[in-house]
A and B are shown apart, each in its own frame.
Chain A
Amino acid sequence: MNENEKQNTRLSDQVFDSLLTEMLSGQRPPDLSERIITAWRQQTGVDAAQQASAAAGHSDGLKDAHTASSASGKQGKLLRESGKGHDTGDGLRASSEQVVCQRSRTAAAIGQQVSLAVHGRRRSTREHVSSSSFWMVVAAAAIAVAISGPILVRHFPRPADELRAEVGTSQRGEKSPVPSPGPRREATATAIAASQGNLPDDDATALNVPPAAPPAFPLGAPKAGQVSTAQLPTSGGGVAGSDALVPEAEPLPEKELVGHVDAMLVQMWESLGLVPSPDLPPEQFMARAHLRLLGQPADSQLLGRVANLKNAADHHRMVSYLTRQPDFVDRLAEFLSNELLSAADRALRGELAEPMRQEIGRVVAGGDSWGELIARWFGASATSGGEAIPPLDDEDERGWAQAYLLQILAQNDRQRALERLGGVLLDANVACVRCHDQRHQLPDIPRRELIDRQDEYWGMLALWQGIQWQSSDSQAPRVVDRQQQLLAGEGLPPVYFERPDGRLQLAFPQLPGGRQWSEVDGADTPRVAFARWLLQSGALDRAAVNQAWRLVFGRPLVPMVDQLEPAGYPQRVALQEFLASQFRAHARDLRQLVQWIASSEAMQRSPATESPHQVLVASEEQLLQWKLQEGVFAAAPAPGIAPDRSLSAVEALASLADWIGGASLSPGNVLLAQPAPLPSADKKRRTGSRPQEPSSSRSQQPTINFYIHRQVPTPAEKEFVRRLVANERLSWEQRVEHVIGLSDTTVDPEKIQQLAAQLLRKRENNMEETLYDLLWAIKQAR
């Protein structure tokens, strides 16, 4: 059980114990109505006489109601006296019931009618502790409603669509989350004004007309100059609306398609003024492709067979040969299932790993649609052959058992699950958006992320309410969908989230990009709508491109956070869009997608440096140049910088923390070299590692047996670290979390936090240097 699960269990026990204590100790919730209203009157300086006077000025009926409710109020006081503050068991319940029975029948009847008419549902049987003053004021309300009905209209629940029309202005392109008053609100204000005696328009503002904004709870006034990020203008136009349905592209023949990819890569390198590194010789290309696609080194016999191949078409033949191997299917299935399962807790991971891997394997081998598999795993369906397959019904036990993604999202720690799945399925860094809106550093890039604002994250999280695990003595635990039941009642409730300035804001359940789930054709519940939207929006296709690119190159084509890798970002986005549209046009065949990527010019690049020794003696400019080349795939990773490419972030950090003996040339320019572990020790330390890339046969440099960490930060990295260090509101742990959030792979945050703290001490509290180390370690883990 991990820390999150422990915490969830502890909190769940805590709530359960408190209910148990209440039942057994008889310490029931007291009736605090009168006390609170009295306190409110004192606070606002309103006394009873003023109340009565105000009421008398408006209605005789209201006066009658006050009279009636005064009696009831006295009874309430008696009740409290007999209860002596806290109830001592069943006594209060009995007394309370008695008071309810003795209440003025007229007032009670009117009040009940109003209550039922307005709220449209029965009161809970346990709500016996109703305030006597409540009945007093409800009686008054009954009459007041008759006189000035519109006054109360605004306070009662309204149809969800209408609410969204008012509140849900949080659509893209708007500067502020605060919606403008809609026509209905204006009408209400006018009606209130009219009911109060035809006040001029200007006076309507004095009538306590509620703001259209979601209620915000001030936890402290924002500091001068501090502006909520939600109010900052967003870069680019509102793409999401048009992005909701991606137009179909014509499927291109493979050769032409790869030609396009190559042209786009070359164009990117030219625009950056980069000369790509030379082509790899065929046997090295085969060695590299074999390792990346099959997860194991090629044997010498195979390398010998390809040594004499000459032209570019041969690269495609090699890749095609490799992607037809059963090992490729296994590797891709394992890679994708591991990515998805990183969102699951340990127990679920163990349970789902094999079936998920097998199903992905079948889809890859059969050339079936990745999208349809994902939809099925959400317990929904895509369209197949133009016909919609209905979503799972309650009785379909097998279907529910195979709804793996629902099972992951039904876990206790849904936020973590969503954040991991966001990266794998939505191509969005959801973890960042949980706490603050994404800042886009590149204004020329159209907003392509579908989730880059806090309210979008929380709105999406709210979509999954009602999906839960259920267990009982007679049945094994299983996932159930209670969304229909919730919808039959009040609907999925909105959630509140905390903005960076400490204020609370409301988020309605909605699809990423602000689209309403009910707008998705044929979707009767949010989860089905989400699955269908996922397939329509293009997000899944972009995410698939990034995942496939990561399989082949160790890191995604388009980074999740644009701030740190701005080089060639627009071109990378364009390439990703192109590949995504073709992936979709080719029926989302994963094998083909990987094949296109692995056949591209990027895969044919040789390393920019031939030996690790060059890295150690290179100038800073040269190092930066190599880093840029590698960053935009114009060169393969330099050999020997980390002899074992499977070094995880934790291992990389641990090695740094163990050995800070390297010379620190200047802040932000750290040179470290550490003896690599011996093979036996290495074997112990590695878990699930990838085999080492075979050394170049052309460059017969002796293998350097050192981890080399030559961290020369780019200007973007320097700026990122500077801002992290300069932000005084962030704790050290939060700073580390921000760097961890940049990781493309699953990392152990707790372990990294520990190591980062250790490293910080060794670096004598130099946060900047430690964060550079951390950045290196995180990137090392790709």
Chain B
Amino acid sequence: MKSKVEGALQASTVHTELELAELIDRHQVMVWRYLRALGADAALADDLTQDTFLEVIRKPLTQYSDSATASYLRRVAHNLFISRRRREARMTVTDNAEAFEDAWMRWAGFDGGNAAMDALEECFGRLTERAQLALRLRFAEEASRSSIADALGISEHGAKNLMQRAKAQLRDCVKQKIS
């Protein structure tokens, strides 16, 4: 027969798992996106997202509010990312967590970037076909500027200008929508 304490501990473990599952469900998209924005590739973002939740759940966690928890998770993710980069002796994108947090909040706000992504999809549809093609080549296929220029039949300089203008339009449009 189990002792009372043993039973309580098991109950506590179940309870922690509930907590973890809830936490993951609420925040994994945000944490993954945040790590990608920091410069992690997809595989690293997967690993560090996992590490972030495991680190956070390692200690009892009091969740004051969703946004506070999100902010905490981002700081933990940021620290893990920086530590990983330092271990690999690679340059970090930024080790200024506050500045990056500001930039993140500007776009991703309090919903982990969902609203921005929705707005981005809508705004992207408003761009000219050539601008859409240029950005697709650049961001989806990671094509070089000269390849993009060839594909569009314009000069490299023209391709650069086209993409800059398109991104500026996108930024303004998204900003307007999410604000």
Chain B residues near A618: list those with CB within 8 A: none
Residue on B with the closest CB to A204? B8
A39-B50 contact given A137-B18, A217-B75, A470-B179, CB 8 Å threshold: yes
Query: Is there a chain A Cβ closer than 8 Å to B154's Cβ?
Result: no
Total residue contacts A-B, CB cutoff 8 A: 276
Chain B residues near A491: list those with CB within 8 A: 65
Pairwise interchain contact A506-B4, C-beta atoms closer than 8 A: no
A203-B93 contact given A21-B139, A27-B42, A167-B64, CB 8 Å threshold: no
Query: Is there a chain B Cβ closer than 8 Å to A33's Cβ?
Result: yes
Pairwise interchain contact B49-A126, C-beta atoms closer than 8 A: no
A126-B103 contact given A209-B60, A496-B72, CB 8 Å threshold: no
Chain A residues near B2: list those with CB within 8 A: 57
- Tell me, in angstroms, the Cα distance from A72 to B83 when the chains sit together: 36
Pairwise interchain contact B179-A25, C-beta atoms closer than 8 A: no
- Tell me, in angstroms, the Cα distance from A641 to B159 when the chains sit together: 60
Pairwise interchain contact A490-B36, C-beta atoms closer than 8 A: no
Residue on A with the closest CB to B31? A29
Chain B residues near A470: list those with CB within 8 A: 175, 179
Pairwise interchain contact B54-A26, C-beta atoms closer than 8 A: no
Residue on A with the closest CB to B68? A494
A480-B7 contact given A12-B103, A54-B13, A414-B102, CB 8 Å threshold: no
Against A, the Cβ 8 Å flags (1 = close, 0 = not) of B151-179 are: 00000000000000001001110111001
A493-B11 contact given A32-B24, A127-B29, A140-B18, CB 8 Å threshold: no
Chain A residues near B56: list those with CB within 8 A: 215, 217
- Tell me, in angstroms, the Cα distance from A7 to B100 when the chains sit together: 9
A36-B106 contact given A44-B13, A490-B65, CB 8 Å threshold: no
- Tell me, in angstroms, the Cα distance from A55 to B135 when the chains sit together: 52
Could you tell me the distance in whole angstroms from the C-beta of A119 to the nearest C-beta in chain B? 8
- Tell me, in angstroms, the Cα distance from A167 to B135 when the chains sit together: 47
Stretch from A45-53, A313-321, A652-660 contacting the other chain: A45-53
Chain A residues near B14: list those with CB within 8 A: 51, 54-55, 58, 62, 140, 144
> Of the candidates B16, B37, B97, B102, which one forms a contact with A18 in the assembled complex, judged by CB atoms under 8 Å apart?
B37
Pairwise interchain contact A29-B65, C-beta atoms closer than 8 A: no
Pairwise interchain contact A154-B49, C-beta atoms closer than 8 A: no
> Of the candidates A16, A17, A131, which one forms a contact with B25 in the assembled complex, judged by CB atoms under 8 Å apart?
A131
Against B, the Cβ 8 Å flags (1 = close, 0 = not) of A130-166 are: 1101101110110010000001101111100001000
Query: Is there a chain A Cβ closer than 8 Å to B44's Cβ?
Result: no
A494-B64 contact given A24-B135, A134-B22, A138-B21, CB 8 Å threshold: yes
Residue on B with the closest CB to A129? B29
Residue on A with the closest CB to B8? A196
Pairwise interchain contact B7-A125, C-beta atoms closer than 8 A: no
Chain B residues near A29: list those with CB within 8 A: 28-29, 32-33
A36-B7 contact given A11-B99, A25-B140, A134-B25, CB 8 Å threshold: no
Pairwise interchain contact B140-A37, C-beta atoms closer than 8 A: no
Pairwise interchain contact B60-A210, C-beta atoms closer than 8 A: yes
Residue on A with the closest CB to B74? A496
Residue on A with the closest CB to B33? A29
Pairwise interchain contact A496-B75, C-beta atoms closer than 8 A: yes
Chain A residues near B111: list those with CB within 8 A: 124
Pairwise interchain contact B46-A30, C-beta atoms closer than 8 A: yes
Chain B residues near A489: list those with CB within 8 A: 110
Chain A residues near B24: list those with CB within 8 A: 32-33, 36-37, 131, 134
Interface of B is mostly: helix
> Of the candidates A8, A137, A199, which one forms a contact with B5 in the assembled complex, judged by CB atoms under 8 Å apart?
A199
- Tell me, in angstroms, the Cα distance from A130 to B24 when the chains sit together: 9
Pairwise interchain contact B140-A26, C-beta atoms closer than 8 A: yes
Pairwise interchain contact A15-B108, C-beta atoms closer than 8 A: yes
Pairwise interchain contact B46-A11, C-beta atoms closer than 8 A: no
Query: Is there a chain A Cβ closer than 8 Å to B15's Cβ?
Result: yes
Size category of the A interface is 35 or more
Residue on A with the closest CB to B98? A415
Residue on A with the closest CB to B45? A29
Chain B residues near A197: list those with CB within 8 A: 4, 7-8
> Of the candidates B71, B106, B112, which one forms a contact with A493 in the assembled complex, judged by CB atoms under 8 Å apart?
B71
Residue on A with the closest CB to B96? A7
Against B, the Cβ 8 Å flags (1 = close, 0 = not) of A201-226 are: 00100111111101111010000000
Pairwise interchain contact A154-B76, C-beta atoms closer than 8 A: no
Pairwise interchain contact B17-A37, C-beta atoms closer than 8 A: yes
Pairwise interchain contact B71-A156, C-beta atoms closer than 8 A: no
Query: Is there a chain B Cβ closer than 8 Å to A739's Cβ?
Result: no
Query: Is there a chain A Cβ closer than 8 Å to B67's Cβ?
Result: yes
Pairwise interchain contact B22-A36, C-beta atoms closer than 8 A: no
> Of the candidates A55, A124, A212, A472, which one forms a contact with B172 in the assembled complex, judged by CB atoms under 8 Å apart?
A472
Query: Is there a chain A Cβ closer than 8 Å to B150's Cβ?
Result: no
Chain A residues near B5: list those with CB within 8 A: 199, 203, 206
Query: Is there a chain A Cβ closer than 8 Å to B131's Cβ?
Result: no
Query: Is there a chain A Cβ closer than 8 Å to B81's Cβ?
Result: no
Chain B residues near A67: list those with CB within 8 A: none
Number of chain B residues whose Cβ lies closer than 8 Å to a Cβ of chain A = 90
- Tell me, in angstroms, the Cα distance from A37 to B13 when the chains sit together: 12
Pairwise interchain contact B107-A40, C-beta atoms closer than 8 A: no
- Tell me, in angstroms, the Cα distance from A600 to B104 when the chains sit together: 52
Could you tell me the distance in whole angstroms from the C-beta of A472 to the nearest C-beta in chain B? 5
Against A, the Cβ 8 Å flags (1 = close, 0 = not) of B122-146 are: 0010000000000110011000000
Chain B residues near A414: list those with CB within 8 A: 102
Against B, the Cβ 8 Å flags (1 = close, 0 = not) of A499-512 are: 00000101000000
Query: Is there a chain B Cβ closer than 8 Å to A31's Cβ?
Result: yes
Query: Is there a chain A Cβ closer than 8 Å to B120's Cβ?
Result: yes
- Tell me, in angstroms, the Cα distance from A152 to B15 when the chains sit together: 8
Chain B residues near A36: list those with CB within 8 A: 20, 24, 28, 49-50, 53-54
Chain A residues near B62: list those with CB within 8 A: 154-155, 210-212, 214-215
Pairwise interchain contact A19-B50, C-beta atoms closer than 8 A: no
Pairwise interchain contact B72-A506, C-beta atoms closer than 8 A: yes
Chain B residues near A754: list those with CB within 8 A: none
A498-B97 contact given A57-B7, A125-B118, CB 8 Å threshold: yes
Pairwise interchain contact B50-A35, C-beta atoms closer than 8 A: yes
Chain B residues near A20: list those with CB within 8 A: 120, 135, 139, 167, 170
Chain A residues near B21: list those with CB within 8 A: 33, 37, 131, 133-134, 136-138
Chain B residues near A37: list those with CB within 8 A: 17, 20-21, 24
Chain B residues near A620: list those with CB within 8 A: none
Residue on B with the closest CB to A492? B67
> Of the candidates B17, B66, B70, B103, which one forms a contact with A11 in the assembled complex, judged by CB atoms under 8 Å apart?
B103
Pairwise interchain contact A206-B9, C-beta atoms closer than 8 A: yes
Query: Is there a chain B Cβ closer than 8 Å to A393's Cβ?
Result: no
Give residues of chain A (640-661) contacting chain B, Cβ–Cβ below 8 Å. Answer: none
Query: Is there a chain B Cβ closer than 8 Å to A78's Cβ?
Result: no
Chain B residues near A41: list those with CB within 8 A: 17
Chain A residues near B110: list those with CB within 8 A: 489-490, 493
Pairwise interchain contact B68-A506, C-beta atoms closer than 8 A: yes
Query: Is there a chain B Cβ closer than 8 Å to A397's Cβ?
Result: no
A217-B76 contact given A11-B94, A33-B24, CB 8 Å threshold: yes
Query: Is there a chain B Cβ closer than 8 Å to A22's Cβ?
Result: yes
Pairwise interchain contact A215-B59, C-beta atoms closer than 8 A: yes
Known: A124-B115, A196-B8. 11 other contacts (CB 8 A): A29-B29, A36-B49, A37-B24, A54-B11, A54-B14, A207-B12, A215-B59, A482-B179, A490-B110, A504-B76, A506-B68
List, sorted by A's number, 9 A–B pairs whose CB atoms are closer than 8 Å: A8-B99, A15-B103, A29-B32, A58-B14, A137-B17, A157-B65, A203-B5, A493-B110, A498-B75
Residues of B within 8 A of A (CB): 2, 4-5, 7-22, 24-25, 28-29, 32-33, 36-37, 39, 42, 46, 49-50, 53-57, 59-68, 70-72, 75-76, 79, 93-94, 96-100, 102-104, 106-108, 110-118, 120-121, 124, 135-136, 139-140, 167, 170-172, 174-176, 179
Minimum-distance CB pairs A-B, first 10: A54-B10, A493-B67, A11-B103, A210-B60, A18-B37, A126-B114, A134-B25, A29-B32, A24-B140, A24-B139
